[in-house]
């Protein structure tokens, strides 16, 4: 019988703390997760194929598919912003105090 412990985190900052990561890692996780979610939402609304979007953004379809599957590991923020721009959107910067 194993003694598995489960943990729950309500934010990227709580998750980073549980994993022993820094607040800087948490900020990056939170920002990238939000950007990734927004890209997926805008892609679905655009009703465009992955192939067409990859061509428009001048990016690899394989890497785009990873992003649209919510896997941005190894993908730069620049890459993500390029996809967002190809979808016809720009990101607005909003700053808020860490709780």
pLDDT surpassing 90 at residue 5: no
C-beta neighbour count of 35 within 10 angstroms: 18
| The CATH number of domain 12-86, selected from 1.10.357, 1.10.260, 2.60.120, 1.10.3470 | 1.10.260
pLDDT band at 1 (very low <50, low <70, confident <90, very high): low
Residue 11 is classified by DSSP as S
pTM: 0.85
Could you tell me which of 71, 53, 73 has the C-alpha nearest to residue 61?
A: 53
Residue 96 gets the label, from left (phi > 0), alpha (psi -120 to 50) or beta, of beta
pLDDT tens digits along 53-80: 999 999 999 999 999 999 998 999 999 9
């Amino acid at each position: 019988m194993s003694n598995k412990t489960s943990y729950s985190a309500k934010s990227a900052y709580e998750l980073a703390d549980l994993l022993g990561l820094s607040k800087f890692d948490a900020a990056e996780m939170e920002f990238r997760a939000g950007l990734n979610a927004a890209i997926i939402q805008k892609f679905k609304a655009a009703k465009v194929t992955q192939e067409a979007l990859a061509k428009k953004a001048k990016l690899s379809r394989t890497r785009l598919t990873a992003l649209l599957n919510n896997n941005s590991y190894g993908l730069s923020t620049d890459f993500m912003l390029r996809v967002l721009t190809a979808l016809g959107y720009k990101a607005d910067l909003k700053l808020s105090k860490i709780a």
